[in-house]
Amino acid sequence: MGLLTGKVALVTGSAQGLGAGCATAFTQHGARVACVDLNRDGLERAAAELVAGGAEAIALPCDVANREQVDAAVAATVQKFGRLDILVNAAMTQRLVRFDRSTEADLLDAYRSSVLGTYNFMMASFPHLKENGGKVINFGSASGTGGEAGMATYAAAKEAVRGLSKAVAVEWGRFEIAVNVICPIGTSPAHEQWAASIGPEAVAEVLKPFPIKRMGDPVHDIGGVAVFLASSLSDYMTGRTLFADGGRGSFR
């Protein structure tokens, strides 16, 4: 029996990176998973890999900023699996741009993919989550909590997600719905491309402030924290932010 046996999770941004890591970790602990992403090809590959490994998973292409598509994705999840217990909002468009060179479009893209997407899925999932009590796991960032050059629009959106999460945690506690946030640092295709472009010595320099001097593994390190927050082990936690970042955020 896994920590999530019998549970159904919907994970946005699950075509790759940290969202895919959470989806994989959930299936390893017995959950059935609806994988959601705008990247149809990557999404279908990710879901197919889970199924090939013996998991129950479906792929649901969706623009998280489009409420009709979000409603359809939630409805398809419940129709397929009969319930919805866990919602993970990992989808996010990230653009590295210095603030004085950023545009309104940069800010709006960040908000649409992160804040609006999180809002949409929380609203659409609420009727199902409150049936048996549920777990919502949203994604923040140390770029927002601690500040980081080139990440202003991204950081603004991520801090908005944290504010939304804390307020909704207060409102939904009476339904036994826990709403928590992970601020992660982990590997992803974008990170791997960046690391290859700057070389191992530059990567080592970046990792110097990290007490644990490596990037987090999407499944074990980030997905593991998500499994904890999705399981009954965290039933008395809500409105909190957990940093899965090798300790970096603790020293900023």
Each residue's pLDDT tens digit, 127-167: 999 999 999 999 999 888 888 788 899 999 999 999 999 99
Mean per-residue pLDDT over the chain, rounded: 92
In a domain, 250, yes or no: no
Residue 194 has a pLDDT of 61
Catalytic pick among 111, 119, 154, 236 = 154
Q: How confident is the model at residue 216 (pLDDT cuts 50, 70, 90)?
A: confident
- Which domain does 210 fall in, by range? 8-244
Residues 6+ apart with CB under 8 A from 184: 18, 139, 141, 216, 221, 222, 225, 243, 244, 245
**Does residue 111 carry a catalytic annotation?**
no
In a domain, 252, yes or no: no
Q: Compare 197 and 101 and report the one with higher pLDDT.
A: 101
Burial label for 17, CB within 10 Å (0-12, 13-18, 19+), is buried
In a domain, 62, yes or no: yes
Total H helices, total E strands in the chain: 10, 7
Which range among 1-5, 35-39, 82-86 shows the weakest confidence by mean pLDDT? 1-5
Which CATH number goes with the domain that contains 123?
3.40.50.720
What does the alpha-carbon distance between residue 135 and residue 137 come to, in Å, rounded to a whole number? Answer: 7
Q: How confident is the model at residue 209 (pLDDT cuts 50, 70, 90)?
A: confident
CA atoms within 13 A on the CB side of 41: 0
pLDDT tens by residue, 8-34: 999 999 999 999 999 999 999 999 999
Contacts by 46-49, CB closer than 8 A, 24 or more apart = 46/14, 46/15, 46/16, 46/20, 47/14
In a domain, 184, yes or no: yes
pLDDT at 45 over 90: yes
Cα 176 from chain centroid? 21
In a domain, 73, yes or no: yes
In total, how many domains does the chain have? 1
In a domain, 1, yes or no: no
- pTM across the whole model: 0.93
CA atoms within 13 A on the CB side of 239: 9
In a domain, 249, yes or no: no
**Size (the chain), residues:** 252
What does the alpha-carbon distance between residue 134 and residue 173 come to, in Å, rounded to a whole number? Answer: 10
pLDDT at 192 over 80: no
Residue 188 has a pLDDT of 74
